[in-house]
Structure 1
């Protein structure tokens, strides 16, 4: 990262990874969003006794039905059309996917708590941040009912519209995600 880093944009660092300069408000917002994501993802449905025996936890089956919450359903989509295969796949993969999403969000919180204003991400942390930023955007996009058709209405909301803060967060997270990808691949 050069001496004059552009605030709010990830830049590559020697040896891989990335760094970004954020102010205290941006750090606070990102941390709050990551913690909310942790709360949303939660531990999932855990069978009784799964915490007692670590070996049993490896063979624990997860849920077989998609979550009712649309944001969770977006984070944990069916791998197949509604079918027995989808239920079977979900049962054996969702717990691991939840754990990975929790680890990604926790990695964000740890880095954000490490102090600033320049946050440095090791290569592994950068990958976790990509996952966490993506999950945050998917969650907010689902709450805003963003579709692939990109609804231009969201970009021209009146300041009094209650969706405006979510739209601003959605767009900001997209910019962070894009600059992180550029820093890692550029």
Structure 2
């Protein structure tokens, strides 16, 4: 079946996408990379130790999708905002780099896939690639879920699942559900189910 992960013969996972699926997945990932923004280029003359301990932002992102990808580390409480700012300052740059690396691995995987029958893209992922793909798929779902305002409320979720075809959110919802299927089947492969 096209569009779902399967165990690969020599470990890792394989995935066969039709041309439209590959294009959609690549496009969504490139859009997420644009949302994440470019990586800060370190000053070549800077002290390597100083670059290692460079401080990141201390305020949460204004964009709701980015705020979901980079949530506050501490919940409610007297000192929560201060602790969250300090935690963010020392972790967000590395987390952002990891998310970029995951997304780039997904794009490179699609671009490097072999051509199969009927224009399909056949991918064979090693275990390390699977971890990158799993991270990128999770980030894509979090981003789309935020844009769609997916919540834990069963009635609201049911309404999103039953969007009429003319609703402009319908393609995003279909992509959200498909990404969930990809994520679930990749997890199954990695767990040996």
TM-score between both structures, scaled by the size of structure 2: 0.87
Q: Which runs of 5+ in 2 are unaligned?
A: 115-120
Is 2:136 the counterpart of 1:142? Answer: no
- Aligned 1:115-130 pairs, distance under 5 A: 115-116=113-114, 117-130=121-134
User: What is the distance in 2 between the residues matched to 1:54 and 1:106?
Assistant: 27
Once the two structures are TM-superposed, the CA of residue 148 in structure 1 deviates from its matched residue by: 1.8
- Aligned 1:3-42 pairs, distance under 5 A: 6-42=1-37
User: What is the distance in 1 between the residues matched to 2:23 and 2:134?
Assistant: 18
Secondary structure class of the residue paired with 1:83? helix
TM-score between both structures, scaled by the size of structure 1: 0.91
Q: Which residue of 2 aligns with 1:72?
A: 66
The count of aligned residue pairs is: 178
Q: Which runs of 5+ in 1 are unaligned?
A: 1-5
Once the two structures are TM-superposed, the CA of residue 184 in structure 1 deviates from its matched residue by: 1.1
Question: Cα gap change, 1:16/1:149 in structure 2, threshold over 3 Å: closer, same or farther?
Answer: farther
- Aligned 1:44-83 pairs, distance under 5 A: 46=40, 50-52=42-44, 53=46, 55=48, 56-81=50-75, 82-83=80-81
C-alpha RMSD over aligned residues: 1.5
Larger displacement relative to structure 2 (75-84 or 161-170): 75-84
Once the two structures are TM-superposed, the CA of residue 54 in structure 1 deviates from its matched residue by: 6.7
